[in-house]
Amino acid sequence: MRLVEPFLEMIGGLKTTLFTIFEKPVTVQYPEEKRQVSKRYRGRHELKRYDNGLEKCIGCALCAAACPADAIFVESSENTDAQRYSPGERYASTYEINMLRCIYCGFCEDACPTEAIVLGDNYELTFTDRRDAIYTKDMLIVPAPKGGAPTPQVTQPGQFTRSVPAMQDPQD
Amino acid sequence: MPKSVNLIVDNVRVTVPEGTLVVDAAKRAGIDIPVFCYHPKMEPVGMCRQCLVEIGRPMFDRATGQPVLEADGSPKMQFMPKLETACTNPVSEGMVVLTATDKAKAGQKEILELLLTNHPLDCPICDKGGECPLQNLTMGHGPDASRFLFDEKQRQPKHVALGDLIFLDRERCIQCARCIRFQDKIAGEPVLGFYSRGRATDIVTFSEPGFDSIFSGNTTDICPVGALTTADFRFGARPWELKNAASVCTHCPVGCNLTFNVRREVKSGGGYVIKRALPRQNEQVNEIWLCDKGRFASYHYTELMGTFHAEDASRLSADASEFDARISRAAEKLSAAKSEALILAGGRLANEDLFNLKQLAGSLGAKIRFYTPMGGGEYTTRLGLSAGSNLGALGKGDTILVVASDLYNEAPLWFLRVKAAAQRGATLILATARATKLDEFATFVVRYPYGDEVETIKGLVGREKIGAALAAGSAGNLVVFYGSDGLGLQGSADLAAECASLLDGRASKANNGLVGVWSTPNAQGAWELGLSPADDGNLASELKGKTVYIVAADPAGDDPRLAEALQSAKSVIVQDILTTETTRLAEIVLPAAAYTEREGTYTSGERRVQRFYPAVPARPGTRPDFSITAAIAKKCGLELEARSALLVMNKLAASETAFAGLSYDRLSQVGDQWPEVGQGNLYYGGTSYQNTQGLGAHLSLATAAPVSSTASGKRPALKETELRFAKLIAVPVTKLYDQGTTMTPAALLNSHVGDASVSIHPAAAQKIGLSNGGQAVIKLNGVESEVKIRFDESIPASVVLVYRSFGLPISGPCAVEILANQTISADSKA
């Protein structure tokens, strides 16, 4: 009896360990292997484009106004048909996000009237210099999609007069 | 005093003068009734219907005329079956106004829904977004959803250039006609109008070139939507990102209060930049308006500071020790010269700068001269406007005399205020040699040949009606504006002396006085400090062999003869904010900070001292003028205040009687102003800034009899001088948009400036063989320059109008030769 009791207690103590041995492991071999982030994950921002390659961002700076950390800086300029970046009259000539300031709250997404700024799934942000933490427009903007042209584009007069498109309510 | 009327607005008892509109009465009680078309500075039109309220009036028995009483003894109220507009109904005794009942709220809500049926709701890209009455009132009073279909909105052109300064977005316009009414009634330049009807109603301009008005920028301030926006600020920034700095406009002696909007910008290398200038309310100076020159050209020149440094790179650097070395050299030269030094100060300098310069001159025993093209300040310091004066208070029974000045071009805001006073019933007497824009508003127009200014003023008193209006015994007030249209330093000083005699004995009264229409913002301040003017005739000879310290003046650029004289000076020290012809000749250049980069005060032509505040940081390597002067003085053994403008002002107030009692604290005081503007009152008074930084204060009048250094007292008329032999006489006149140093960097206005031109009567021109619009060579004061000829039938045939600040050397009337169809050969140019 004296010999068996401690042995049983040890088994009891190892119960969780023993059960876990037969479970599917949760450890991910990062960085070789990456875990799928959730659909609404808030990672590094991306500036989106329309299918024709025009930038969705119209430089309204509402994201900068909504930002509680004052991480976004926008300057806008005027589009012309000879040099068109986005539909409508206005585009962002400067767009900067300081990733050290950003708290990834997603208010910028909410504020955006054109769904141009979207928090993506990139969470791999490391910097060796504070200056490197400032992401400029060319770092944030996604490449032109297939079939679309990069900006600036030459467009027909009267073709892109609306800045804010008619949009569906967000589904997700 | 008008009768006062008692009424009740939303259970608040209000007492207002008879004739007040319900919307204003409510505003005075702190109750906001939403409005779009109504503006407190203009007559109501009741176009937008936004101000719907319930109005009840006491019921009267028709037979007896007695008020009908309720059972409890209170007067019975009769409400109209429908809602009424608060902006078109004047108050009446016992009136009850309900602004927040369900019925009134529903009415306001429906009007907003209707106004928004066609509005594009593109607030994200609209320059007005963030300071937009339509946005604010929709949030406050509007519906959260529209019953109209988005797809049925009308699509209109979005970027219609009304002129080159103002853009119209046709979709955003809600047809309130504020802009049209401003141009018609306030600016007196009716160049806008409605075209077509109903939903197709459109704002159009029918002037050529489009929106040809010098007050056009104000329409963007009072536009309650983003329909009218300015070209200089197009997509410049969002309003909430901007920092504000209060300042004073420096283009003319009016001293309009304005606010600079400042932002850091990547485009400009990350530095602070002024993005726009907006008027700041001062009902006693510029009300809530600003002329286009002040709005579009008041800050661009600071952008040139960079070129100042680049061009003089060998002589200038941001290095402080280099600056100190330069100051030491300047001090050495000045203290060696002692009384052989000559200080030349310009009218752009603040009171503090001039005070320090005056002290330096005093300690050196050197002469200090005020560099000005116009004289007579000895009279305006004694007979100018005094405390309590306000051009906005002039009206019936008062008299305004404007002599030898084209206020429209020389001081646009005085033009507005004088015009408004005339429309209120003041007698406006206009004595000018040529037709000006003010003619149509004048009660009496007196024309004289150029050169007869003094004689004309002498003769005015003898005239029956004009004499009565000017008579010293009359109860009304008298304000005399005199300018330098066709006059030089001496001519204008003589004119001032003559005008002064009209004001004898009444100048100590508020709203009575002599006002000089100077060309610089602080000329009055220079006169108040007792600086005597640099006589244009003798200046060249005075400069020879002297050690000259020139501050904020460009004599070499104004007159080639002065440039020559400067070359024969012993040494030339120049202190300025930009590279000028004079700094190019200088041995030592001292770069000064511009007025947007520092603090100080200006004295306006109305003798009001006003503060300006730093808007942007000073460019490296520059210092404020007063502190450069103080540094030089220190090396010369004189301790002056260099630390801050505030401390200089304290000393100035202690030692100059005119400035006695003034301090920065006093100048920063504000009082209640009507109408309310800015902040929460955007919808009411427009986007002009509320004045929280100070209304300024009047100087006290000098009591000593003026001793004029320039006025000769009995100067012969032009035709009796040596000029009588000249076939043609050139006279200097002022054009609003000129090629001044601070004006040219404002690229937006360049097309309004044009080439150097002279105006001549067609009859005189044909004799010489000139054609309208043709080129010719003009010989002025021994200098030949190429000019464009313009015909003008409204001017006398014997004169040629030469515009100042176009590079033509003219300081007073002089003989002129015009050679048609010639150009200056390359040899003589060199």
Q: What is the pLDDT of residues B770-780, one digit of tens each?
A: 888 888 899 88
Given B89, B115, B141, the domain boundary residue is B115
Given CB atoms, is A154 within the 8 Å cutoff of chain B?
no
pLDDT tens figures, A145-160: 999 999 999 999 989 9
A76 chain-B contacts, CB cut-off 8 A: 125, 235
Mark whether B195 and B71 lie in a shared domain: no
Q: CB A62 to CB B234 under 8 A? A: no
How far is the CA of A96 from the CAs of A75, A115, A117, in angstroms? 9, 17, 12
Contact (Cβ atoms closer than 8 angstroms) between residue B658 and residue B627: no
Q: Chain A: residue nearest B127 by CA?
A: A60
Q: Read off φ and ψ for residue B447, nearest 5 degrees.
A: -110, 140
Tell me the three state secondary structure of residue B429.
strand
Furthest C-alpha separation in chain A = 95
Interacting residues of A4 by C-beta distance below 8 A, sequence separation 6+: none
Helix-then-strand count for chain A, H and E: 5, 5
Q: List residues bridging with A49 in a β-sheet.
A: A55
Q: What pLDDT was estimated at residue B769?
A: 85
- In the numeric block, the tokens 């040099």 are attached to A83
Mark whether B291 and B169 lie in a shared domain: yes
A113 chain-B contacts, CB cut-off 8 A: 124
Alpha-carbon distance of B230 to B164, in angstroms, equals: 9
Q: What pLDDT was estimated at residue B708?
A: 54
Q: How many Cβ atoms sit within 10 Å of the Cβ of residue B794? A: 11
What DSSP line would sit under B608-655, residue for residue?
EEEEE---SPPPTT-B-HHHHHHHHHHHTT-----S-HHHHHHHHHHH
Q: Which two tokens stand for residue A18?
A: 């023993």
Segment A94-121 mean pLDDT: 95
Q: In chain B, what percentage of residues exceed pLDDT 70?
A: 93
Alpha-carbon distance of B67 to B17, in angstroms, equals: 22
Q: Which two tokens stand for residue B431?
A: 């004595």
Interface probe, candidates A135, A163, A168, chain B, greatest B C-beta count within 10 A = A163
Q: Which two tokens stand for residue B414?
A: 């005085």
Strands B341-346, B547-551: pairing kind:
parallel
DSSP B185: I
Mark whether B290 and B181 lie in a shared domain: yes
Omega before B449 within 30 of 0, i.e. cis: no
Domain count of the fold of chain B: 5
Strands B272-279, B160-161: pairing kind:
unpaired
Contact (Cβ atoms closer than 8 angstroms) between residue B360 and residue B338: no
Q: CB A94 to CB B124 under 8 A? A: no
H or E element, residue B370: strand B367-371
Q: Least CB-CB distance to B125: which of A60, A75, A166?
A: A60
Mark whether B279 and B395 lie in a shared domain: no
Beta strands in B497-640 (DSSP E): 513-516, 532-533, 547-551, 571-576, 588-591, 600-603, 608-612
Mark whether B388 and B367 lie in a shared domain: no
Q: Least CB-CB distance to B124: which of A75, A77, A113?
A: A113
Mark whether B111 and B10 lie in a shared domain: yes
Average pLDDT, chain B: 90
How many residues are there in chain B?
A: 830
- Residues of B375-403 as b/e, b for ≥16 C-beta within 10 angstroms? bbbbbbbbbbbbeebebeebeeebbbbbb
Mark whether B630 and B501 lie in a shared domain: no
Residue B141 lies in a domain: no
B122 chain-A contacts, CB cut-off 8 A: 88, 162-164
Residue B46 lies in a domain: yes
Residue B508 lies in a domain: yes
Q: What pLDDT was estimated at residue B825?
A: 56
> Is a pLDDT exceeding 90 seen at residue B541?
no
Q: Read off φ and ψ for residue B79, nearest 5 degrees.
A: -95, 145
Dihedral of the CA atoms B533, B538, B541, B546 (nearest 10)?
Answer: -10
Interface probe, candidates A63, A86, A89, chain B, greatest B C-beta count within 10 A = A89
Give which of B605, B683, B659 is closest to B256, Cα–Cα. B605
B266 chain-A contacts, CB cut-off 8 A: 73, 75, 94, 96
Given B254, B272, B303, the domain boundary residue is B303
Mark whether B162 and B265 lie in a shared domain: yes
Alpha-carbon distance of A106 to B440, in angstroms, equals: 61
Q: Chain B: residue nearest A86 by CA?
A: B125
**Can you give the CATH number for the domain in which B181 is found?**
3.30.70.20
Give which of B507, B533, B505 is closest to B518, Cα–Cα. B533
pLDDT tens figures, B140-162: 999 988 888 877 888 899 999 99
Q: What pLDDT was estimated at residue B827?
A: 47
**Can you give the CATH number for the domain in which B744 is found?**
2.40.40.20
Given B492, B517, B542, the domain boundary residue is B517
Give the range among B82-86, B240-244, B470-474, B618-622 with minimum mean pLDDT. B470-474
Q: CB B238 to CB A90 under 8 A? A: no
Q: Least CB-CB distance to A88: which of B125, B129, B238?
A: B125
A62 chain-B contacts, CB cut-off 8 A: 124
What DSSP line would sit under A104-167, residue for residue?
---HHHHH-TTS-EEE-S------SSGGGGEE-HHHHBPPPPTT-PPSSB---TTSS--SS---
pLDDT tens figures, A39-59: 889 999 999 999 999 999 999
Mark whether B44 and B97 lie in a shared domain: yes
Q: What pLDDT was estimated at residue B828?
A: 46
Q: CB A90 to CB B237 under 8 A? A: no
Helix-then-strand count for chain B, H and E: 27, 34
Residue B351 lies in a domain: yes
Q: What pLDDT was estimated at residue B605?
A: 96
- Smallest CA–CA distance, residue A110 to chain B, in Å, is 14
Mark whether B366 and B404 lie in a shared domain: no
How many contacts, defined by CB atoms under 8 Å, are there between A and B? 52
Q: Which two tokens stand for residue A134?
A: 């400032």
Given CB atoms, is A65 within the 8 Å cutoff of chain B?
yes
Interacting residues of A32 by C-beta distance below 8 A, sequence separation 6+: none
Mark whether B196 and B77 lie in a shared domain: no
Alpha-carbon distance of B517 to B783, in angstroms, equals: 28
CA B337 to chain centre: 40
- In the numeric block, the tokens 């008299």 are attached to B399
pLDDT tens figures, B389-415: 999 999 999 999 999 999 999 999 999
B150 chain-A contacts, CB cut-off 8 A: 166
Strands B243-248, B757-760: pairing kind:
unpaired
- Smallest CA–CA distance, residue A22 to chain B, in Å, is 57
Residues of B with CB under 8 A from a CB of A: 121-122, 124-125, 129, 150, 155, 158-159, 234-235, 237-238, 240-241, 265-267
Q: CB B129 to CB A166 under 8 A? A: no
Q: CB B235 to CB A77 under 8 A? A: yes
Alpha-carbon distance of B351 to B222, in angstroms, equals: 34
Q: CB B267 to CB A75 under 8 A? A: yes
> Is a pLDDT exceeding 70 seen at residue B719?
no
**Domain limits, chain A:** 38-140
H or E element, residue B560: helix B560-567
CATH topology of domain A38-140: Alpha-Beta Plaits (3.30.70)
pLDDT tens figures, B232-280: 999 999 999 999 999 999 999 999 999 999 999 888 888 899 999 999 9
**Can you give the CATH number for the domain in which B627 is found?**
3.40.50.740
Containing domain of residue B564, as a range? 323-372+528-661+694-698
Residue B271 lies in a domain: yes
Mark whether B355 and B398 lie in a shared domain: no
Q: Read off φ and ψ for residue B667, nearest 5 degrees.
A: -70, -20
Q: CB B266 to CB A75 under 8 A? A: yes
Confidence of residue B472 (pLDDT cuts 50, 70, 90): low
**Can you give the CATH number for the domain in which B50 is found?**
3.10.20.740
Q: Least CB-CB distance to B238: which of A61, A78, A162?
A: A61
Given CB atoms, is A62 within the 8 Å cutoff of chain B?
yes
> Is a pLDDT exceeding 80 seen at residue B722?
no
Q: Least CB-CB distance to A58: which of B125, B237, B240?
A: B125
